[in-house]
Amino acid sequence: MARGVNKVILIGNLGQDPEVRFLPSGSPVCNLRLATTDTWTDRQSGQRQERTEWHSVVMFNKLAEIAQQYVKKGSRLYIEGRLQTRKWQGQDGQDRYSTEIVANDMQMLDSRSGAQGGDFGGQGGGGYGQQGGYDQQGGGARQNSPAGGQNQGGYGQGQNNYGQGPQQGSQGNQQGGGPGNQQGQGSGAPNPGSFDDFDDEIPF
C-alpha cells in the first residue's frame, strides 16, 4: 500500500516580524504568519477580485535562527513543509487544536533581503518530539527536521507548547486541521523564475 503524502508549498509575504521562543532544551522555535493572495476576475462584473489567506508556519533550530536574523515583516518567502496538528490547553483549561505548517525549506525571494535569494532547507519529516541537527552544504543551512511525532504533536516533551497557544489573531488554524496544498515532488526549492509554470502543473 502506497504511503500518503503530506506536503505544502507556499509563496507569500510575512504579516509581522518573526516571533522566536525557546524550548526548555534551549532550541529556538520561530513562528511566522505568512499571507498568500489569490486573484481572479468576476465573471458577472468583470472586476478583478482577490482573497488573502493567512498561514501559521513554525520553524525549528537553525532554520528558526536564520528566519530571525534575515526575514522581517513584508519579506517575500518560499516555504516548503508539511501540515501538522498539535494539542494544547487554553487558559480556561480546555483542550485546543492548532494546525500549522512545519517548514523544512525556506527561500528568501526578496532581493532586498540580507541573504539575497538564500535557500535554506531541511530534510526528512516527522513530529516535534525530538531535537534535530543540521549541517551546512554549499553555504545553505540544512535542518534535519525533528522525528518522532510524540504527545499529540506538542513541541518538545509532553504537551509543552513553549508557554502559550497559537498567536493572537490567527485565522482558520484552530479546532482541527484544514486542507493543505500537497505535492509529491522533491524537497528542493524551485528556481524563483519558474514559479509561473506552477499554474499548469499543480492540480488545485
pTM of the model: 0.57
Report if residue 119 sits inside a domain. yes
Report if residue 142 sits inside a domain. yes
Could you tell me the CATH number of the domain that includes residue 75?
Answer: 2.40.50.140
Report if residue 3 sits inside a domain. no
Query: Which residue's C-alpha cell is 526548555?
Result: 24
Report if residue 1 sits inside a domain. no
Query: What tens digit of pLDDT does each residue of 54-88 get?
Result: 999 999 999 999 999 999 999 999 999 999 999 98
Report the phi/psi class of residue 158: left, alpha or beta, with left for phi > 0 and alpha for psi in -120 to 50. left
Average per-residue pLDDT in the chain?
70
Q: For the chain, what is the domain count?
A: 1
Report if residue 41 sits inside a domain. yes
Per-residue CA distances from 43 to 37, 40, 46, 47, 49 (Å): 19, 9, 5, 8, 10
Three cell numbers written together for 37: 493572495
Whole-angstrom distance, CA of residue 95 vs CA of residue 143: 31
Q: Which residue has the higher pLDDT, 106 or 167?
A: 106
Task: Tell me: pLDDT of 171 over 70.
Answer: no
Task: Tell me: pLDDT of 180 over 60.
Answer: no
Average pLDDT, integer, range 187-198: 41
Query: What tens digit of pLDDT does each residue of 123-137 get?
Result: 333 344 333 333 333
Report if residue 59 sits inside a domain. yes
In which domain, by residue range, is 42 found? 8-201
Report if residue 108 sits inside a domain. yes
Radius of gyration of the CA atoms of the chain, in A: 17
Report if residue 2 sits inside a domain. no
